[in-house]
């Protein structure tokens, strides 16, 4: 009898906890952002097709403005499937899943230097695919112990209800997260940014970018790859060595994309004011709007349309 009462109280506690915070996301990775996005997409995007798919790291999650995409292509289905810290290898593996599920016409990746580093995450892509393609959520909850479920529920509850912190998971209608112009909790260290000479490129990530390009080409998906900007004072203070590293990086990207009939837009060709950022490379809402308008306008002279009319 005691066990039955205890179990009942535990279930009541969990119900109240999950109601107050959030239902826990599937345990398909060690990233709360990745897991939360999987849960969000599972709940909100049951449609068979997506016309425009944004994918990648926080450079896509935070720096692409959903409202601009929706306003420009209002009659098209748009999904931002990005999450924190995805490098090119992880983006490639995730794109294989989403291209199979949604058959997008266009894939948009907003990226920066850090997306070509070795991963710090563990993602179970086979579980992710099974989960997104319709398998029962209970299986994925069972992969977590009780303390993990409670922690993930609390974190998601905190992150999805605020957009004034970097960890915000307050997804908009399309899965994006744009940081507000005011009341944002800017971290001084993040504002200052890392020195590029201290960020080590994982060379195999260029191979995975090539694989992304080939996957898009072979499946009739137009790939738009955009180099995301740095805030003006950070970029202007890069040393000659750092500028050489960055220029070499963007040249490699451009050559890979050109070989596979993909499109490269380099936002470093213009200056981006300090007031548009919340740190050295993440934009606020105004910055994301101007940035998205910028790369869409760069497609027009090339007669590139994101979707069929």
Q: pLDDT, tens digit, for every residue of 17-46?
A: 454 455 677 889 999 999 999 999 988 887
Among 40-44, 189-193, 304-308, the minimum mean pLDDT is found in 304-308
Q: 275 or 7: whose pLDDT is higher?
A: 275
What would the mean pLDDT of 133-139 be, rounded to a whole number? 64
Range of the domain at 256: 2-302
Residue 7 in domain: yes
pLDDT value of position 227: 97
Tell me the pLDDT of the chain averaged across its residues: 88
Percentage of the chain lying above the pLDDT 70 cut: 85
The mean pLDDT of 161-174, rounded to a whole number, is 94
pLDDT confidence band for 154 (50 / 70 / 90): confident
Whether 222 maps to a domain, the answer reads: yes
Q: pLDDT at residue 301 above 60?
A: no
Give residue 149's pLDDT band: very low, low, confident or very high (50, 70, 90): confident
Residue at 241 is within a domain: yes
Q: Which of 78, 282, 27, 45 is nearest to 178 (CA)?
A: 282
**pLDDT beyond 90 at 193:** yes
**Residue 10 in tokens:** 């535990």
- Separation in Å, CA 235 to CA 250, 267, 272: 15, 12, 9
Residue 106 has a pLDDT of 95
What is residue 10's predicted lDDT score, i.e. its pLDDT? 44
Instruction: Work out the average pLDDT over 190-211.
Output: 93
Pick the more confident residue, 282 or 163. 282
Considering the domain boundaries, does residue 296 fall inside one? yes
Indicate whether 120 pLDDT > 80.
yes
Q: Model confidence at 258, in pLDDT bands (50, 70, 90)? A: very high
The percentage of the chain sitting over the pLDDT mark of 90, rounded to a whole number, equals 70
**Band (11; pLDDT cuts 50, 70, 90):** very low
The reported pLDDT for the residue numbered 19 is 47
pLDDT at 15 over 70: no
CATH assignment of the domain containing 62? 3.40.50.1110
Considering the domain boundaries, does residue 309 fall inside one? no
Question: Is residue 17 situated within a structural domain?
Answer: yes
At 36, list the tokens.
Answer: 């939360």
Residues 6+ apart with CB under 8 A from 296: 68, 69, 72, 306
Count of Cβ atoms closer than 10 Å to residue 43 Cβ: 9
What pLDDT shows up at residue 5?
A: 47
* CA–CA separation, 73 and 75 (whole Å): 6
- Domain assignment of residue 307, yes or no: no
- Least Cα distance to 119 among 189, 30, 197 occurs for 30
Greater model confidence, 15 or 195: 195
Asked if residue 76 belongs to a domain, the reply is yes
pLDDT of residue 12: 45
Task: Indicate if the pLDDT at residue 164 is higher than 90.
Answer: yes
- How many structural domains does the chain have? 1
């Amino acid at each position: 009898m005691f066990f039955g009462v205890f179990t009942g109280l535990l279930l009541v506690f969990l119900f109240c906890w999950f109601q107050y915070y959030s239902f826990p996301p599937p345990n398909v990775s060690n990233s709360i952002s990745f897991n939360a996005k999987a849960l969000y997409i599972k709940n909100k995007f049951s449609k068979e097709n997506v016309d425009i798919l944004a994918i990648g790291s926080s450079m896509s999650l935070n720096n692409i403005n959903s409202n601009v995409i929706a306003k420009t292509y209002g009659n098209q289905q748009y999904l931002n499937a990005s999450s924190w810290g995805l490098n090119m290898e992880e983006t490639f593996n995730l794109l294989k899943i989403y291209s199979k599920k949604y058959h997008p016409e266009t894939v948009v990746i907003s990226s920066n230097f850090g997306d070509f580093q070795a991963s710090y995450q563990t993602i179970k892509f086979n579980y992710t695919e099974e989960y997104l393609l319709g398998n029962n959520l209970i299986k994925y909850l069972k992969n977590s112990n009780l303390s993990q479920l409670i922690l993930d529920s609390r974190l998601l509850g905190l992150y999805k209800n605020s957009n004034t912190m970097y960890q915000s998971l307050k997804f908009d209608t399309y899965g994006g997260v744009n940081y507000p112009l005011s009341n944002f909790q800017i971290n001084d260290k993040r504002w200052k940014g890392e020195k590029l000479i201290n960020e080590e490129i994982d060379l195999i990530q260029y191979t995975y970018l090539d694989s992304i390009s080939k996957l898009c080409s072979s499946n009739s998906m137009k790939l738009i790859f955009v180099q995301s900007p740095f805030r003006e004072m950070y970029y202007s203070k890069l040393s000659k060595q750092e500028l050489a590293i960055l220029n070499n990086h963007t040249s490699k990207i451009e050559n890979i994309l050109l070989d596979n009939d993909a499109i490269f837009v380099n936002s470093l060709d213009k200056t981006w004011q300090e007031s548009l950022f919340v740190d050295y490379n993440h934009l606020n809402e105004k910055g994301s709007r101007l940035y998205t308008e910028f790369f869409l306008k760069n497609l027009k002279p090339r007669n590139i349309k994101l979707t069929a009319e």
